[in-house]
Structure formats: structure tokens, C-alpha cells
Amino acid sequence: MRIDPRTLRLFLAVCREGTISGAARAEHLSQPSVSVAINQLERVLATKLFERNRQGIQLTPAGEALKIKAQAVDSLLLSAQEEIKLLEDDVGGPLNIGGTPGALASVMGKVISSFSKEYPRFNLRITECHDAKAHQMLKNYELDLAILTSGMTSSSDSFCELPVFSDPFSIVVGEANYHLPEKLNLRQLASARWVLPDKVGGFRRQIDALFISSDAAIPNNVISSDSLLSTKYIVRVSDYITILPREVVKSELENGSLRAIEIDGINFKRKVGLLWLAERKLPAIAQAFIDHTVQCLDV
């Protein structure tokens, strides 16, 4: 006996609302109808999905596993609906790409212009998120591709990873620090005030590796910011400094609002890669984006 997709939707509603009654209200159904659907789902799977208590429900390990797959099915159905509507207007997609702000800026800035010439009518949704969130969204089929910092750890067997771009790190300063020399060792900046990404994800691990390689203490006088826009603005208008890949601040370096200082003794580049779910057959537009990126960046 196969799973009825409608029961998966109710199962997700229970997960989301935390109770059978809450799911019934959200789906405009009676509570007994939802209970019957969940019981039917448990019979089909021959396992228990929830532990019920006074506070509501708690997923069993089987329930947690089903939730991941149910979210993927739900995302695929929504994507199919959207794709069919777009096809009526001769528009490709939808293409959902997520990733960290710096990685997205680096790759999208290099490929989107030529990609849009090759595919003039397509629907693209870009989501900024940290690494762990991107991984989860890929597993849930909420993203087709992720653009993330790569090369720090071996990729999980769950994902395919393709490095596409590398870029040297620089110390980036605003006008208040324009007096600094063209090249500095990170040890010389022990008393500096920094803006750095939060301590989550590959981008921050690469920055920490720079300090370790320079035999410099990792800063503690820090503003933590995962917003690229905020980081650049703070550095531009104050005496705070940061470390960023040159490509990320290319326009600011060209107009003189920021200045890049070479990190002495370091020949280490930030690496960016495309990531997608290994078990998934990608939509045609997603595969086309990968192929175009490889060609455009000469990977």
C-alpha cells in the first residue's frame, strides 16, 4: 500500500502546529479526520511517528526521517505547480539558489549577466543563508543549488560539490585606516577592532585559519555580522577593519570607498563551490546554470 500524498500534507501540518487539533484548525478539518489520516499513515509505514503527551506531540526517529522526505515531496509539488505556470509564459524555472552573502555575490556577479543572455526568460529566487541552513534546504528540495565556501572539510556523501572560484583574502579598511601600509601581518593588528562573520560556516573557518597561519590571536574585539552590506558600511564609516575576498569588495575598491591591504606571509585563497543534493536529478535550468558557471569561470 502506497502513501497518500494528502496524508503527508497533514503529517507536516501536525509537525508544524505541534498538535493534532492545531493541524486540524490550520487545514480546516475536524480533529478526528486528521487523527484518522495519521493513523492510516502509521499503518502503511508499520511504525509509530509521534509520541503523544499533554504538551502535544514529539516525533519518533521514524517521524523525523519521514518529515525530511515529506518536506521534500511538498517542495517538489509546489515547484512543479510553479514550473507549469511558468511554461505557459515560456519562462524557465523556477531556479532556487541559496548560499552565504559573499559566496553568492562572487559567483552570481560573474555569471548572471552572460547566463541571462543565454536564457533570457527564467525565474530565479536567491536566498541568503548560512551553511547549515543551506544544507537543510537542499535536503528539503527548497533549494536546487547552493553557493558556499568550500574546501575546508570533506563534503558529505549526501552532496555533490564543484569548486568554481577562488579569490585572495585581503584586510579591508575604510578612510580612517588609509594610513596603514600596503602589506600587514595579522599579528600587527592585535589591537584593531574587527567586523567578522559569525562563528558558523566555512567562511569564518577560513578567516580563522588565516589568523592561525599567521600565528596571530583570533580577535575578540569583534562585531559579528553575517550581512555583507552592513560589514562594508561599518568599515567604510569607522575605524573597524575586516577580512574579505577582493572580488566581494571589487566595486568599493574601484571607487575608492574602501582599500585592500595584502596579508603578509599568507598565500591562501577563499574557495567557493556549487553544492547540490547527490540523490536528486536536477531540473534542467539548474543543470544549465552549473554548466554555464563551469564554462564562464573556466573551472
C-alpha to C-alpha distances, 102 to 54, 98, 147, 169, 273, nearest whole angstrom: 45, 11, 9, 12, 12
- Helix or strand or coil: residue 100? coil
Average pLDDT on 148-160 reads 73
Residues 118 and 136 in one domain: yes
Give tens-digit pLDDT for 16-43: 888 888 888 988 889 888 888 888 888 8
Q: Domain of 152: which CATH number? A: 3.40.190.10
pLDDT at position 50 is: 87
Tell me, yes or no, whether 203 and 283 share the same domain.
Answer: no
**Mean pLDDT computed over every residue of the chain:** 88
Are 173 and 264 found together in one domain?
A: yes
**Do 158 and 182 lie in a common domain?**
no
| CA-wise closest residue to 120 among 298, 281, 285 | 285
- Sort strands 145-149 and 92-99 into parallel, antiparallel or unpaired: parallel
CATH number for position 51: 1.10.10.10
Domain shared by 71 and 87, yes or no: no
What's the confidence (pLDDT) of residue 53? 77
Last residue of a domain, one of 46, 76, 106: 76
In this structure, the answer to whether residues 286 and 158 fall within a common structural domain is: yes
Provide φ and ψ at 42, rounded to 5°.
-65, -35
The answer, yes or no, to whether residue 156 has pLDDT greater than 80, is: no
Count: domains in the chain: 3
Q: Report the C-alpha gap between 169 and 246 in whole angstroms.
A: 6
Query: What pLDDT does residue 151 have?
Result: 65
Distance CA 26, CA 90 (A): 35
Q: Pairing relation of β-strands 159-173 and 242-245?
A: antiparallel
Q: What is the pLDDT of residue 253?
A: 95
Q: Are residues 158 and 215 in the same domain?
A: no
For the chain, strand residue ranges (E) read 50-53, 56-59, 92-99, 122-128, 145-149, 159-173, 183-184, 194-196, 222-224, 242-245, 259-263, 269-277
Domain that holds residue 152: 83-164+271-297
Q: What is the pLDDT of residue 99?
A: 92
- In this structure, the answer to whether residues 104 and 142 fall within a common structural domain is yes
pLDDT at residue 266 is higher than 90: no
pLDDT on residue 81: 83
Is the CA virtual torsion 140, 145, 148, 150 positive or negative? positive
Pairwise pLDDT comparison (276 vs 110), residue with the higher score: 276
Shared domain check, 259 and 282: no
Among 249, 149, 153, smallest CA distance to 195 is for 249
The per-residue pLDDT for range 191-232, each reduced to its tens digit, is 999 999 887 777 888 899 899 999 999 998 999 998 899 999
By the 8 A CB rule, do 94 and 125 touch?
yes
pLDDT at position 130 is 87
Among 2-11, 132-141, 225-234, the range scoring the smallest mean pLDDT is 2-11
Give the pTM.
0.72
Same domain, 96 and 135: yes
123 and 180 co-located in one domain: no
pLDDT tens for each residue of 60-112: 999 888 888 888 888 888 888 887 877 787 888 899 999 988 889 889 988 99
Separation of alpha carbons 277 and 287, rounded Å: 12
Q: Check whether 155 has a pLDDT greater than 60.
A: no
User: Considering 60, 76, 92, which residue would you say is the last residue of a domain?
Assistant: 76
Tell whether 29 and 150 lie within a shared domain.
Answer: no
> Considering 19, 52, 76, which residue would you say is the last residue of a domain?
76
